[in-house]
Amino acid sequence: MAVSQIGVEQLSLDEFVRLYDQQPFELVDGERIPLSPTVQDHNVTTSTLFRVLIMHVHPNGLGEVFVEAPFVLEYSKNWVKGSRTPDLMFVRADRLASYREANPDWRKKPLVLVPDLAIEIVSQNDSYSDVEAKAEGYLQDGVRLVWIFDPQRKKIAVHEIGSKSYTVLSEEDTLTGGDVIPGFEVAVKALFES
């Protein structure tokens, strides 16, 4: 995803929503980074991952899976510190229920909650080092687990909060949800077959 940076001042949550509606963006270190449209290879991988996750998450009542939805970090109530938009993200049911109970207007604003899992899919026009930096940013924000899918190489990098290294899975391996998505397992090869 090619991005250009545009300087930005602090945003209220309402300003964030208004500007995001005009042009989706991430807010990282005070910079607004516009999001580019994705290509079909990226969309097919996103769709495959969504289907596989939802087939495990929903029947087991584990939480919610979101596609290309922003999550927002706040300085203080209604002031945006930053935002990120993973290709897919998962939030555990208990955390989501607590969030919604504490925020009766949750339907009218972006998710102001760090997800448990963030997934990035490397597109042909992405710099892998930029995607790696994004994974590091997610972990710094408090995301517990980050998966980076590389459809060209048919590999998945698995990053866990608190770990200084990451694991790279190939087609012979199995991707699991660990403590974040209990019981989730899928052959890596199956995720890249379509």
Q: Which of 101, 124, 106, 27 is nearest to 66 (CA)?
A: 106
**Distance separating alpha carbons of residues 72 and 15, to the nearest angstrom:** 13
Chain centroid to CA 49: 12
What is the DSSP code string of 68-107? S--EEEEEETTEEEEEE--SEEEEEHHHHHHHHHH-TTGG
- Residue 30: inside a domain, yes or no? no
- Residue 6: inside a domain, yes or no? no
pLDDT in the model for residue 3: 41
Per residue in 44-89, pLDDT (tens digit) is 899 999 999 999 999 999 999 999 999 999 767 778 888 999 999 9
CATH number at residue 127: 3.90.1570.10
- Residue 3: inside a domain, yes or no? no
pTM (predicted TM-score): 0.88
- Residue 151: inside a domain, yes or no? yes
- Residue 150: inside a domain, yes or no? yes
Per residue in 136-148, pLDDT (tens digit) is 999 999 999 999 9
- Residue 12: inside a domain, yes or no? no
Domain range enclosing 100: 39-192
Give yes or no for residue 26 having a pLDDT over 90: no
Residue % of the chain over a pLDDT of 70: 94
- Residue 164: inside a domain, yes or no? yes
In the chain, the number of structural domains is 1
